[in-house]
């Protein structure tokens, strides 16, 4: 797996996002370290490799304030196959991103076989 990205625990430890910085600033070290230690086993990167036989569709945002490109790539690489990835120029919530919505709907229809007659 490329890198040692831990996602939520890593985000809380290193992100420059105001929320992460606020938590680090106000949570004393003796409470912050156990918080991170408790969070690390819950990071999804440890479990995504076991998703098969489910098919996965990852939709990520360029310049996401919460998920770095390295984190997204690491998460995708760790995931079991079959899998697909798509990138979009929008915000973290995919606000007004019709392309992401259309891609997601097409993927769901294809994988649930909703396009076939019963």
Q: Quick one: pLDDT at residue 79?
A: 94
Q: Name the strand (E) or helix (H) holding 72.
A: helix 69-78
pLDDT digits (tens, 9 = 90+) for 57-93: 999 999 998 888 988 998 999 999 999 999 999 999 9
Residue 79 makes CB contacts below 8 A (sequence gap 6+) with 48, 49, 51, 56, 58
Half-sphere exposure (CA, 13 Å, Cβ side) for 77?
11
Q: Quick one: pLDDT at residue 110?
A: 92
Q: What is the pTM of this model?
A: 0.76
Q: Quick one: pLDDT at residue 103?
A: 98
Q: Quick one: pLDDT at residue 118?
A: 46
Q: DSSP character for 17? A: S
Q: Quick one: pLDDT at residue 116?
A: 61
Q: Quick one: pLDDT at residue 4?
A: 47
> Per-domain residue ranges for the chain?
8-111
- Distance between CA 39 and CA 73 in Å, rounded? 21
**42 and 108 Cβ atoms separated by less than 8 Å:** no
Q: Quick one: pLDDT at residue 112?
A: 86
Phi, psi of 9, deg, nearest 5: -65, -40
- Distance between CA 73 and CA 45 in Å, rounded? 11
């Amino acid at each position: 797996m490329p890198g040692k990205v831990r996602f939520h625990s890593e985000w809380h430890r290193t992100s420059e996002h105001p929320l992460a910085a606020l938590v680090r600033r106000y949570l004393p070290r003796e409470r912050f370290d156990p918080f991170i230690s408790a969070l690390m086993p819950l990071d999804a990167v440890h479990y995504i490799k076991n998703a098969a036989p489910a098919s996965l569709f990852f939709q990520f945002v360029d310049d996401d304030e919460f998920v770095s490109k390295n984190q997204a790539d690491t998460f995708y690489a760790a995931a079991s196959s079959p899998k697909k990835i798509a990138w979009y120029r929008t915000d973290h919530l995919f606000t007004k991103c019709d392309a992401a919505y259309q891609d997601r709907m097409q993927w769901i229809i294809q994988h649930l076989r909703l396009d076939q007659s019963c």
